[in-house]
């Protein structure tokens, strides 16, 4: 890769050969030089989706953002444990009785058990992430799979005097915590404001204070998701889930905690409070938050009828859309803005991104077809220096709080140079062999490995369909000749690649990608 990648030795962090990675820490509201707790290793937790329904456009930004963070840390040489949870309990009730009723009604309407419904939307989420070419997290724990750990943490909080039981429910004592700790620093809220702005939800009269939040809720007879606990039958609060799972898989303190800005309060603020009391240390070194997506200048919300599901985005089947958009266009669109800036979605912006991505990808493919120049004497020193500087900027901008937008801007400055070499208006030999090879290797590393982009060319899909049809025809011919060894080999090897063949009753064969 670039000069920023070096082998880890002692306390020298990977990537220290060039500019050092700096991350904007939401907790301190400033950029800080990144130093992992354990040299050469990074622990990262990102709040995953609440799988009570289908994923929408708002889910695309955090998971694409932190996929790039994950990829880049690995590229720098770190061994990363990336934990992203699935919220399949607790959060439903946090928003009040209406959210819980909706889950129940939807499960009945679709004739599914609650966990069947959860699995359906978890599968849809995973499918959408695959379309975006996001890497799978190292560990993907579920809230329902960690009830024991959550109960254990709640017991610790009660023993320490920072939580209390009331009518089978358990609440965190925010006022007591705020008396000794800096509660509200992450979100910028003060305790007095919290007391005035806390929403009235069912069970508020049980609390000692309206700012207190639920760690465990007593389940009413009709509640569909319930577990046995020392306080009776109930279910966990939303916030305790992430504290328990992060502690289990990343330890008392870990490097990076990510999520959208909408989670600053109350979720992440509550996580800090719970984990600090249980583990006797601040849980996270670097808090990283992506900004929100707006649609045509308006916040995305049901009242505006502008919540766009990812399946609708890919199919174009939504009133706000003028066409279908390839998942890579969405990914590229998101990476063209800094993750901390607001990002306004519009058809015009996405159409422009589609054209931009195609232009960049075409240049990348053209670059791969060019042979290295053979004449060092014909080097244009000014052009050579300009190309080197633009390439060095990739590392510099990415190390400055993951500046993907500036990296892409430098790539687009290199596109005319690449296209001119392809058209032979600029000889390949205008660049030194070292610079040309660096140009080829860096484009591949950054476009594919770090930014995670793939081709959107329709021709590529047509080629794939042609190859698949050829394999299906060969397999069919083999079966007709009773050459089952060849037939089975085609099916089995495609299966290993994640492609399933299905023989239909009419004699045809279909295929699907796992």
C-alpha–C-alpha distance, residues 112 and 445, integer Å:
44
Residues 440-456 have a mean pLDDT of: 96
Distance, CA of 349 to CA of 354 (rounded, Å): 9
The pLDDT tens digits of the residues spanning 116-128 come to 888 999 999 999 9
Q: State whether CATH 3.40.50.620 applies to domain 22-27+41-290.
A: yes
Query: What 3-state DSSP class applies to 183?
Result: coil
4's CB contacts (< 8 A; 6+ apart) are: 15, 16, 17, 18, 19, 76, 395, 399
Interval 122-141 mean pLDDT: 96
Give CA–CA dist 264/271, Å, rounded: 10
Name residue 86's beta-bridge partners: 142
**CB-based contact 86:128 (threshold 8 Å):** no
478, pLDDT greater than 70: yes
> Is the Cβ–Cβ distance between 142 and 248 less than 8 Å?
no
* Longest alpha-carbon distance in the chain: 85
Paired with 294 in beta bridges are 299, 344
Look at residue 84 and tell me whether its pLDDT is greater than 90: yes
pTM score of the predicted model: 0.84
The token duo for 206 is: 């049980």
The proportion of the chain whose per-residue pLDDT surpasses 70, expressed as a percent, equals: 87
Give the model confidence (pLDDT) of 153-189 as tens digits. Answer: 999 999 999 999 999 999 999 999 999 999 999 999 8
The b/e string for 252-273 (b: 16+ C-beta within 10 A; e otherwise) is ebbbbbbbbbebbbbbbbbbbb
pLDDT at 358 over 90: yes
The two tokens of residue 135 are 């890497």
DSSP assigned state of 132: T
Cα separation, 172 vs 178, whole angstroms: 11
Q: Cα separation of 138 and 84, whole Å?
A: 8
Cα pseudo-dihedral 384, 390, 396, 402, rounded to 10: -150
Query: Residue 312 — φ and ψ, nearest 5°?
Result: -70, -35
Residue limits of CATH 3.40.50.620 in the chain: 22-27+41-290
Q: What residues contact residue 338 under an 8 Å CB cut-off, 6+ apart?
A: 401, 402, 403, 404, 405
Where in the sequence of the chain do the CATH 1.20.120 domains occur?
345-450
Q: Is 81 helix (H, G, I), strand (E, B) or coil?
A: strand
pLDDT per residue as tens digits for the range 321-355: 999 999 999 999 999 999 999 999 999 999 999 99
DSSP SS3 for 82 = strand
- Domain 345-450: which topology? 1.20.120
pLDDT-derived band of residue 12, with 50, 70 and 90 as boundaries? very low
Q: Which residue has the higher pLDDT, 468 or 514?
A: 468
Residue 291 predicted with pLDDT over 60: yes
Question: Could you tell me which of 14, 37, 36, 45 has the C-alpha nearest to residue 287?
Answer: 45
């Amino acid at each position: 890769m670039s000069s920023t990648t070096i082998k880890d030795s002692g306390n020298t962090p990977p990537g220290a050969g060039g500019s050092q990675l700096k991350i904007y820490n939401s907790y301190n509201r400033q950029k800080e030089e990144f130093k992992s707790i354990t040299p050469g290793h990074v622990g990262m937790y990102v709040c995953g989706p609440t799988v009570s329904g289908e994923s929408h456009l708002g889910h695309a930004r955090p998971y694409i953002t932190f996929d790039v963070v994950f990829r880049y840390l690995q590229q720098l040489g770190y061994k990363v444990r990336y934990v992203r949870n699935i919220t399949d309990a607790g959060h439903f009730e946090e928003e009040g009785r209406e959210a819980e009723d909706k889950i129940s009604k939807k499960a009945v309407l679709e004739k599914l058990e609650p966990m069947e419904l959860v699995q359906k939307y978890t599968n849809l989420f995973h499918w959408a992430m695959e379309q975006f070419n996001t890497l799978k997290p190292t560990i993907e724990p579920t809230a329902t799979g960690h009830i024991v750990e959550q109960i254990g943490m709640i017991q610790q909080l009660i023993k320490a005097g920072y939580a209390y039981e009331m009518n089978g429910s358990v609440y965190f004592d925010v006022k007591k915590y705020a008396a000794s700790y800096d509660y509200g620093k992450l979100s910028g809220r003060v305790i007095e404001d919290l007391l005035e702005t806390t929403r009235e939800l069912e069970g508020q009269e049980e609390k000692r204070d309206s700012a207190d939040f639920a760690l465990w809720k007593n389940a009413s007879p009709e509640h569909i998701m319930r577990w046995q606990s020392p306080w009776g039958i109930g279910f966990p609060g939303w916030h305790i889930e992430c504290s328990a799972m992060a502690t289990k898989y990343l330890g008392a303190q870990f490097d990076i905690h990510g999520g959208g800005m909408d989670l600053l309060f109350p979720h992440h603020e509550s996580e800090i409070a719970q984990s600090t009391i249980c583990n006797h240390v601040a849980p996270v070194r670097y808090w990283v938050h992506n900004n929100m997506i707006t649609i045509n200048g308006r916040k995305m919300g049901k009242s505006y009828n502008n919540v766009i599901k990812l399946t609708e985005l890919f199919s174009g089947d939504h009133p706000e859309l003028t066409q279908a958009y390839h998942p890579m266009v969405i990914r590229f669109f998101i990476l063209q803005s800094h993750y901390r800036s607001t990002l306004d979605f519009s058809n015009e912006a996405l159409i422009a991104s589609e054209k931009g991505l195609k232009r960049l990808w075409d240049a990348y493919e053209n670059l791969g077809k060019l042979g290295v120049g053979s004449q060092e004497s014909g080097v244009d020193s000014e052009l050579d220096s300009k190309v080197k500087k633009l390439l060095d900027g990739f590392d510099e901008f990415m190390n400055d709080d993951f500046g993907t937008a500036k990296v892409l801007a430098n790539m687009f400055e290199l596109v005319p140079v690449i296209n001119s070499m392809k058209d032979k208006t600029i000889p390949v030999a205008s660049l030194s062999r070292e610079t040309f090879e660096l140009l080829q290797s860096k484009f591949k590393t950054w476009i594919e490995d770090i930014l995670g982009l793939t081709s959107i060319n329709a021709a590529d899909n047509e080629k794939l369909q042609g190859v698949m049809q050829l394999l299906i025809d060969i397999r069919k011919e083999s079966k007709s000749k009773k050459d089952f060894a060849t037939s089975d080999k085609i099916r089995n090897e495609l299966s290993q690649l994640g492609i399933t063949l299905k023989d239909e009753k009419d004699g045809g064969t279909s295929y699907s990608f796992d």
